[in-house]
Structure 1
Amino acid sequence: MAEWKTVEHPMSTAALTKLLLPWIACLVWVGGFEAAVAAVPTEINFGVASVGLGGRPFVGGSVVSVVHVKGWLEEEFKDQGIKINWHFFKTAGPGVNEAYSNGVLDFAWQGDLPQLIGRASGLKVKYILGAGRRQYIYLAAKPNSSAARIEDIKGRSVAIHKGTCLQLSIARLLAAHGLRERDLKVYNMDGLAAASALGSGDLELAFGAFNLLALRDQGLAKVIYSGAEDDGRYGCSGGFTVTEDFLARYPDITRRVVKTIVKAARWSADPANRGELYAIWAKSGFPLEHFKEEWDSQDLKRKLSPLIDDFQINRYRVALEDARKFGLVRGKVDFDRYFDRSYLEAALTELGLQDFWIPEDAEGKPQSPIPHPESGARISAVSNARGPQGPEHAP
């Protein structure tokens, strides 16, 4: 039977250590190099809670379109070889939440309701940048429908894209007119499917966005309500979020992403760029004339503000309360932990835009510029957002 024996090596421990020391140092250096490389991601996955006509990977009405079409994120990270992947979701906010939960996305642009649903359900994301407020919603009806106002639609068939911020806006609008969603015959359809059903006459009514204007122009529908009637009083707020994991691993990359989006918001606010902005939005497949119709009378600087001010925070507080009231969301959201304004403040400082956008108070009235907090400070949603609670107080 073979016998295994331990053989003593003639080299002393000290001599062996001296021989191996350069190799150990080399391994330590390689480990440090790999750690440095790991501080930069190989790719960034960006989610957009919308899609263009016919599934086109373009959207209108947001600064995210500017960043995407102009390739500003790609340019920002070109030298480091970081790939930017854009994901557009026909399923809108719910699709983004699902992608977040599956680890597909690092950043996303969404409306308030799906963001709150995701956070209340345990998604580990943070809100780092505003992107849109007082968004217009529309209600269109078949040309031969007798419905002429909101009060007329009780008991009728209507399309609503559930799980999106549009659903919450509609609930607010209905409540203001003495109605609830359960008073209607609701069909859950995305915007494109709803427009198709309405245009073919298979559906009497549909809530949606500017996509309904095309049906109006073709004589296939009539618009009986537009957010322009009340300056988007019941409309969505939106913004950009990032996963807590990405934020923790790549804080400087996050800062640069935010800075790039703030640059796009500044560019979009310039009246001289309005024509080009509409052209970018029209890549979504919707007519440029419809963007002009909706946006020519609006203050782009105010409407597309990236600020996380008292108004934006209060709208999210009200959105959560309304969503609970209408049975759209369960759970709680710790707003102090959800909102992180530090990256926005860093971008505003770096770009010299600290006083460019005028913050609004909880009621939507202009106020003095937000004090410049210390580096890394986070806004207190408790102390700064105790405005009136309820859609009747929204501007």
Structure 2
Amino acid sequence: MQALTLIRLLRRLALLPATLLASQAIAAEPPQSIRIATVAYANAGKITFNGPAYVMDRDQWLQQELAKRNIKLEWVPAATASVGTFVNEEFANQRIDFAFYGDLPSIIANASGVSTKLVAPGGSGNNVYLVVPSGSSATSIKDLKGKRIALHRGRPWELSFAKLLEANGLAFADFRIFNLNPQAGAAALSAGRVDAFFTLSDAFLLEDKQVGKIIWSSKQAPRDWKMRAELWGASDFVAQQPELTQLVVTAYLKAAHWTAQDANRETYQGYLAQSGQPLSVLQREVEGESWVGQFTPLYDQALRQHYADAISYSQKAKLIRGKVDVNALLEPKFVTQGLKDLQLEHYWQADQADLASRP
């Protein structure tokens, strides 16, 4: 009887596709380590991770869970000036399994054949700002037509700039765009070499130094206009190691939940300030916005619209040649399961954001 059962089992296995058997064999073999890339800062000789990654590393929950399985956790630091390029190269060379980074670089990676999955949304997004010299008479993007604008091309906030132009009936050709990183852009604005600068929260530093003033921010726009950064996983790893992927996502959700509690707001902003960003800037960045909503991990309409627009823009701007399916990028099942396991299904509410274009 046992021999007959064994024969039947072997026959069934013989009918399975070879690729399926191969994937099952790989899935049964856990890796020796899990490698997660994240933006990191060097401060007083110490490496500080950015955002929820800091909390994940502090809490040690993920490290402990992986240790039970004889797996090590390796954080891979990425410099903020080159995080997109660095992470894409690491994914392409299979040197990392996960990464916290932005939208345009991840779309570029997928269009070039480096397949990744968005396994956990990184909150509601970061604001972006249009800054002009303190003595400028410009009050809107329309006033800057024909002028010089500093913008770091290919970075996530380029999409926000493109949306601002489109909403005002303008195009890149209407301006003299200088491709400068945030540090060089700030210096150019301060020296009067450009008439405007499109950037992140470092805009507040220019106001504090009285060399610039903010005339527009994404706080005035729909939520899908914000710059986004998420937790991405290598598609092969996600498919072959779903249990380990779930651990990483659950650890992220635990960190996001702790951070989203108003009682932990000052402590968390204190962590971020270790990167060198003044606390007053961090406070102004989220002023007037929901603190809990800053860390929502939900796959809501604003997120989907953002990535659909980002793909469309990348094609129009010829940042990519290949096609990218927005539905293929998003992998929500791990967040769904993680929220259920943590009993947080109702902690964050889906945001019925206004997605209509407006300046």
CA deviation string 1:354-390 (max 9, x = no partner): 22211245xx27xxxxxxxxxxxxxxxxxxxxxx7xx
Q: Match of 2:281?
A: 290
2 CA distance for matches of 1:231 and 1:288?
26
1 CA distance for matches of 2:135 and 2:318?
33
- Can you give the 5+ residue segments of structure 2 that lack an aligned partner in the other structure? 1-24
1:77 Cα shift? 2.9
Q: Tell me which of the two structures has the higher relative contact order, counting C-alpha pairs closer than 8 angstroms and 6 or more residues apart.
A: 2
Which of 130, 133, 140 does residue 131 from structure 2 map onto? 140
Q: Which amino acid aligns with 2:37?
A: G
CA deviation string 1:148-196 (max 9, x = no partner): 3211222222221111210111110122122222222222222233223
Q: Which amino acid aligns with 2:30?
A: V
Q: Match of 1:77?
A: 66
2 CA distance for matches of 1:40 and 1:344?
21
1:215 Cα shift? 1.9
Matched, 1:306 2:297: yes
Q: Which amino acid aligns with 1:63?
A: P
Overall identity of the aligned pairs, in %: 29
Q: Match of 2:38?
A: 48
2 CA distance for matches of 1:148 and 1:53?
37
Aligned to 1:77, the other structure's residue is in SS state helix
Is the contact made by 1:49 and 1:93 (CA closer than 8 Å) also made in structure 2? Answer: no
TM-score by length of 2: 0.82
Q: Match of 1:67?
A: 56
Is the contact made by 1:130 and 1:238 (CA closer than 8 Å) also made in structure 2? Answer: yes
Higher strand share goes to which structure?
A: 2
1:254 Cα shift? 1.0
Q: Match of 2:78?
A: 88
When residues 329 and 169 of structure 1 are mapped into structure 2, their CA distance, relative to the original with a 3 A threshold, is: farther
Matched, 1:341 2:339: no
Indicate the structure (1 or 2) with the bigger Cα radius of gyration.
Answer: 1
Q: Match of 1:250?
A: 241
Which of 21, 29, 37 does residue 39 from structure 1 map onto? 29
1 CA distance for matches of 2:48 and 2:150?
23
Deviates more, 1:343-352 or 1:49-58: 49-58
Is the contact made by 2:127 and 2:217 (CA closer than 8 Å) also made in structure 1? Answer: yes
Aligned to 1:392, the other structure's residue is in SS state coil
1:338 Cα shift? 2.3
Is the contact made by 1:59 and 1:283 (CA closer than 8 Å) also made in structure 2? Answer: no
2 CA distance for matches of 1:177 and 1:340?
34
1 CA distance for matches of 2:191 and 2:321?
37
Which of 71, 88, 102 does residue 93 from structure 2 map onto? 102
Aligned to 2:335, the other structure's residue is in SS state helix
CA deviation string 1:94-145 (max 9, x = no partner): 3322222122221112222222222122111111111123431011222333
Matched, 1:392 2:357: yes
CA deviation string 1:9-45 (max 9, x = no partner): xxxxxxxxxxxxxxxxxxxxxxxxxx99983333222
2 CA distance for matches of 1:359 and 1:68?
28
2 CA distance for matches of 1:164 and 1:298?
24
Aligned to 1:307, the other structure's residue is in SS state coil
Number of equivalenced pairs: 333
Deviates more, 1:350-359 or 1:200-209: 200-209
Is the contact made by 1:94 and 1:164 (CA closer than 8 Å) also made in structure 2? Answer: no
Aligned to 2:357, the other structure's residue is in SS state helix
CA deviation string 1:258-278 (max 9, x = no partner): 000001111111111111111
Q: Which amino acid aligns with 1:46?
A: I
Q: Which amino acid aligns with 1:164?
A: R
Q: Match of 2:260?
A: 269
Is the contact made by 1:49 and 1:91 (CA closer than 8 Å) also made in structure 2? Answer: no
- Can you give the 5+ residue segments of structure 1 that lack an aligned partner in the other structure? 1-34, 366-387
CA deviation string 1:297-322 (max 9, x = no partner): 21122232111233322321122223
Is the contact made by 2:110 and 2:324 (CA closer than 8 Å) also made in structure 1? Answer: yes
Q: Match of 1:4?
A: none
Is the contact made by 1:92 and 1:164 (CA closer than 8 Å) also made in structure 2? Answer: no
Q: Which amino acid aligns with 2:76?
A: W
When residues 97 and 187 of structure 1 are mapped into structure 2, their CA distance, relative to the original with a 3 A threshold, is: same
1:52 Cα shift? 7.5
* C-alpha RMSD over aligned residues: 2.9
When residues 290 and 53 of structure 1 are mapped into structure 2, their CA distance, relative to the original with a 3 A threshold, is: farther
Is the contact made by 2:27 and 2:240 (CA closer than 8 Å) also made in structure 1? Answer: no
Matched, 1:182 2:147: no
Q: Which amino acid aligns with 1:392?
A: S
When residues 217 and 336 of structure 1 are mapped into structure 2, their CA distance, relative to the original with a 3 A threshold, is: closer
Deviates more, 1:293-302 or 1:207-216: 293-302
Matched, 1:321 2:312: yes
Q: Match of 2:12?
A: none
Which of 129, 152, 168 does residue 120 from structure 2 map onto? 129
When residues 352 and 393 of structure 1 are mapped into structure 2, their CA distance, relative to the original with a 3 A threshold, is: farther
Which of 192, 195, 201 does residue 204 from structure 1 map onto? 195
